[in-house]
Amino acid sequence: MRRRWPRDEGCGQGEGVDLGNLGSAYADLGEVQRAIGYYQRALEIAREIGDRCGEATGLHSLGDKLGTKEEYEGALACYLLAVDIRSDISDPRLSGSQVRIEKLEEKLGHEELARLVERVEPNKDRIVEEMLQGIAQGRREDAGD
């Protein structure tokens, strides 16, 4: 069993960035599920150390990979949370997350996206938490825990 040491912000930020970069590398290789696992771990670290910018980045990246897998509910929940965080912290990358929602609208159509937003918006936190728990469970099963 891997021992988890408490992280300080400086150390944790670097680890989170490294995990996000690994996720991007695996995504580029077409290993989407593996990329999702790395993005999820980076997101956990960002939340643990209170790195709101890292949290928004992790959510945005996770949303991208879920969209690739046509898991639109999870993707939208991630994008909506990323938009909320980026708005709160005045992140200049806010428009990037908003564009992803527009891309979903292009893919799904206006009516379908409107229905999806109506269903996801009030439940976005729960949707992401349940999804993250599922990813973490899958990692534990893969590791034989």
User: Would you tell me the crossing angle of helices 94-108 and 52-68 to the nearest 10 degrees?
Assistant: 20
Domain residue ranges in the chain: 9-143
Homologous superfamily of 9-143:
Tetratricopeptide repeat domain (1.25.40.10)
What pLDDT score does 2 carry? 34
From CA 49, how far away is CA 142, in angstroms rounded? 26
pLDDT band for position 145 (cuts 50, 70, 90) = low
pLDDT digits (tens, 9 = 90+) for 47-94: 999 999 999 999 999 999 999 999 999 999 999 999 999 999 999 999
pLDDT band for position 135 (cuts 50, 70, 90) = confident
Query: What separation in angstroms does the CA of 135 have from each of 87, 98, 106?
Result: 27, 25, 28
Whether 11 has a pLDDT exceeding 70, the answer reads: no
pLDDT digits (tens, 9 = 90+) for 60-69: 999 999 999 9
Cβ atoms of 65 and 26 within 8 Å: the answer is no
Whether 124 has a pLDDT exceeding 60, the answer reads: yes
